[in-house]
């Protein structure tokens, strides 16, 4: 009976011993930079990304200081199951891919770009935690997510910055912006003499989950700078969560300095016409800024070029004469 109990105990303990794999820990993993921290507000359809430097901190470790060569992988996860990408610089998949770091040849870190996307089904108030772990790899180049760390945290910058092998970032879903909104400067300066000054407006599709949308617009002005505008147009296929530019074109060729004018833009959904936004842009005519042609560096270069050219001509003339 005692022998059977002993055999059973060995069978139970063997997987634990195998999973411990103390031999795979030569270096000391850690991310050189942490996530921003705190809780970041996101909207449905938004993608949040960060760039990570996965490093072997053997040089800062007191327990694994001899492991200047080791293999590691970056693993990602979250609580809500939102879509995640983990890519190398060449856009190849980096999730769980083992990378050998060899500081004998100056390679002690590798880089990955990680992104997490809020699904359109997410509700306002939803919370999520995004986790990235730098794990050891075994001798078969297989990532071991439960391998733990050698020493955590490691410290850099003379012991002032802690670097962890597991980092997290919290998110909260907030209300999305309006389906349509306009961005513009408070005051836009136009140089006197410009016959076609482009005054920019950003037309934005605020709903990141909305399909590409066409918007019609009308831009008018008071006519104090150039003739009164009555400009119409369409901005096509504005992607959800993105903006596109439209311009009011003003003729300030004969406008006096210090003249003000206002441009009013109205934008509406070209499909149904029930969604619209409007704003007013002030413009101010200012004196043109002269751009000197012959600055000191330009003159210096021209003089040197002339001296060099004269030297070449004189040398050729001397050779020809000889």
Q: What is the pLDDT of residues 37-89, one digit of tens each?
A: 999 999 999 999 999 999 999 999 999 998 999 999 999 999 999 999 999 99
Q: Is-contact 30 152, C-beta < 8 A?
A: yes
Please determine whether the domains at 22-173 and 181-286 fall in the same fold group of CATH: yes
Instruction: Give 296's contacts (C-beta < 8 A, 6+ positions apart).
Output: none
pLDDT at 319: 63
Looking at domain 181-286, its CATH architecture is Sandwich (2.60)
Assigned token pair, 242? 């993105």
Per residue in 135-146, pLDDT (tens digit) is 999 999 999 999
C-alpha span between 207 and 211 (Å, rounded): 9
**Which tokens go with 130?**
């995004």
The residues spanned by each domain of the chain are: 22-173, 181-286
Confidence (pTM) = 0.70
| Percent of all residues in the chain with a pLDDT value above 70, rounded to a whole number | 90
CB 173: neighbour CB atoms within 10 A? 20
Which listed CATH number (3.30.1050.10, 3.30.1330.200, 3.40.50.720, 2.60.40.10) goes with 22-173? 2.60.40.10
Share above pLDDT 90 across residues of the chain, in percent, rounded to a whole number: 74
Task: Using the predicted structure, report yes or no on whether residue 6 has a pLDDT greater than 80.
Answer: no
Pick 235 or 318 by higher pLDDT: 235
């Amino acid at each position: 009976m005692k022998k059977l109990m002993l055999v059973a105990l060995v069978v139970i303990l063997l997987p634990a011993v195998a999973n411990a794999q103390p031999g795979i820990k030569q270096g000391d993993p850690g991310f050189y930079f942490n996530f921003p921290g705190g809780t970041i507000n996101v909207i449905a359809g938004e993608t949040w990304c960060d760039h990570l430097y996965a490093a072997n901190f053997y040089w800062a470790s007191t327990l694994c200081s001899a492991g200047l060569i080791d293999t590691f992988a970056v693993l990602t996860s979250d609580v809500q199951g939102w879509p995640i990408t983990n890519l190398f610089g060449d856009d190849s998949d980096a999730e769980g891919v083992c990378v050998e770091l060899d500081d004998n040849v100056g390679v002690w870190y590798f880089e990955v770009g990680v992104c997490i996307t809020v699904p359109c089904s997410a509700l306002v108030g939803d919370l999520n935690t995004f986790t990235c772990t730098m794990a050891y790899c075994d001798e078969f180049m297989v990532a071991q997510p439960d391998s733990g760390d050698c020493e955590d945290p490691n410290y850099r910058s003379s012991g002032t910055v802690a670097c962890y092998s597991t980092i997290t970032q919290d998110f909260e879903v907030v209300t999305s912006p309006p389906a349509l909104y306009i961005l513009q400067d408070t005051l836009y300066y136009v140089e006197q003499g410009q016959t076609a000054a482009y005054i920019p407006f950003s037309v934005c599709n605020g709903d990141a989950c909305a399909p590409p949308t066409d918007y019609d617009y009308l831009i008018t002005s008071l006519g104090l700078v150039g003739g009164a505008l009555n400009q119409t147009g369409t901005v096509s296929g504005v992607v959800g969560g993105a903006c596109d530019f439209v311009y009011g074109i003003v003729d300030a060729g004969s406008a006096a300095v210090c003249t003000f004018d206002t441009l009013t833009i109205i934008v509406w959904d070209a499909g149904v016409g029930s969604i619209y936004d409007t704003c007013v842009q002030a413009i101010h005519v200012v004196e043109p800024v002269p751009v000197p042609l012959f600055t000191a560096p330009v003159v210096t270069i021209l003089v040197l070029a002339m001296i060099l050219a004269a030297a070449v001509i004189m040398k050729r003339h001397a050779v020809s004469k000889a």
